[in-house]
């Protein structure tokens, strides 16, 4: 079925989990497959929660937090972190639009990219080490979900900034209101299941994603795949 294919595609794209499946996919599959982003986030979160639980039995909270972030990087292949670095290099270069897009396309990382990565990773480590017990488990489960809500909302509510084809265009053009609404309903169910009445904070990643997409895309007239990755990490 097309839904299973798109779920597997997103799992292969967003994680390094080895799935020996050769898929015949289209640009539409990438865009509409974003509906599964929150579920992929929960999958990543589950692995992080298990890793944290095992590590905290042996190591201090600080070391456990560092190792948990390393597990996250390994699980995702640094996919969205790469987008964060490229976005920081481009957006904060104070150059014209076309030059910003060129900088973001450059595979080399600059000073702004390094600073953004260090800041976000340090913040992640501090947050994980500062939360204790059951709340840490819930936080680790929900953080990747919230991040991928960012990519979903950012793609579904924005225009694509570049001319020509690109993977980012696939997400922006084919992730429409239907995918966003279904993805958010699934996300709300996840938040309700873990937080109960406190699931109201579910609106925060949505608002954050909308604001970040608008702010980061203001200089270039839309979003790119890198910006969607940055929104995921900042969310």
Q: What tens-digit pLDDT sequence spans the chain (235 residues)?
A: 788 999 999 999 999 999 887 888 888 999 999 999 999 999 999 999 999 999 999 999 999 999 999 999 999 999 999 999 999 999 999 888 889 999 998 888 999 999 999 999 999 999 999 988 779 999 999 999 999 999 999 999 888 988 766 778 899 999 999 999 999 999 999 999 999 999 999 999 999 999 988 888 888 888 999 999 999 999 8
What are the distances in angstroms from CA 24 to CA 5, 15, 68, 111? 9, 19, 34, 39
Q: Which two tokens stand for residue 233?
A: 């990490």
pLDDT of residue 159: 87
* pTM for this predicted structure: 0.93
Give the pLDDT score at 184.
Answer: 97
Q: Would you state the torsion angle of the CA atoms of residues 46, 51, 52, 54, taken in this order, to the nearest 10 degrees?
A: 130
DSSP the chain: -HHHHHHHHHHHHH------------HHHHHHHGGGHHHHHHHHHHHHHHHHHHHHTTS-HHHHHHHHHHHHHHHHTTHHHHHHHHHHHHHTT---HHHHHHHHH-SS--HHHHHHHHHHHHHHHHHHHHS-THHHHHHHHHHHHHHHHHHHHHHHT--B-SSS--HHHHHHHH--HHHHHHHHHHHHHHHHHHHGGGGGGGHHHHHHHHHHHHHHHTTTTSB-HHHHHHHHHH-
| pLDDT for the residue 21 | 77
The pLDDT of residue 221 is 87
- pLDDT computed for residue 97 by the predictor: 87
**What does each C-alpha distance from 136 to 100, 119, 129, 195 come to in angstroms?**
38, 21, 8, 12
Under 8 Å between Cβ of 195 and 205: no
Question: Based on the number of CB atoms within 10 Å of its own CB, is 135 exposed (0-12), middle (13-18) or buried (19 or more)?
Answer: exposed
pLDDT of residue 122: 97
Tokens describing residue 78: 């640094």
Q: Determine the pLDDT at residue 161.
A: 86
What pLDDT shows up at residue 232?
95
């Amino acid at each position: 079925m097309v839904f299973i294919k798109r779920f597997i595609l997103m799992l292969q794209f967003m994680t390094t989990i080895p799935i020996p499946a050769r898929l015949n996919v289209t640009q539409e599959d990438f865009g509409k497959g974003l509906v599964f982003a929150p579920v992929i986030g929960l999958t990543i979160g589950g692995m992080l929660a298990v890793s944290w639980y095992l590590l905290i039995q042996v190591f201090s909270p600080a070391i456990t937090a560092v190792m948990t972030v390393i597990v996250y990087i390994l699980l995702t292949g640094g996919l969205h972190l790469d987008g964060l670095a490229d976005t920081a290099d481009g957006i904060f270069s104070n150059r014209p639009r076309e030059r910003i897009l060129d900088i973001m396309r450059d595979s080399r990382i600059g000073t702004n990219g390094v600073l953004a990565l260090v800041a976000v990773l340090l913040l992640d480590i501090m947050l994980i080490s500062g939360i204790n017990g059951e709340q840490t488990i819930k936080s680790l489960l929900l953080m990747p979900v919230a991040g991928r809500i960012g990519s979903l909302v950012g793609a579904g509510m924005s225009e694509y900034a570049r001319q020509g084809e690109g993977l980012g265009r696939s997400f922006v053009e084919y992730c429409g209101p239907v995918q966003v609404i279904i993805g958010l309903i699934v996300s709300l169910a996840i938040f309700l299941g873990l937080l109960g009445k406190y699931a109201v904070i579910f609106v925060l990643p949505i608002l954050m994603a909308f604001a970040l997409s608008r702010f980061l895309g203001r200089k270039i007239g839309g979003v790119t795949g890198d910006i969607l990755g940055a929104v995921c990490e900042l969310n």
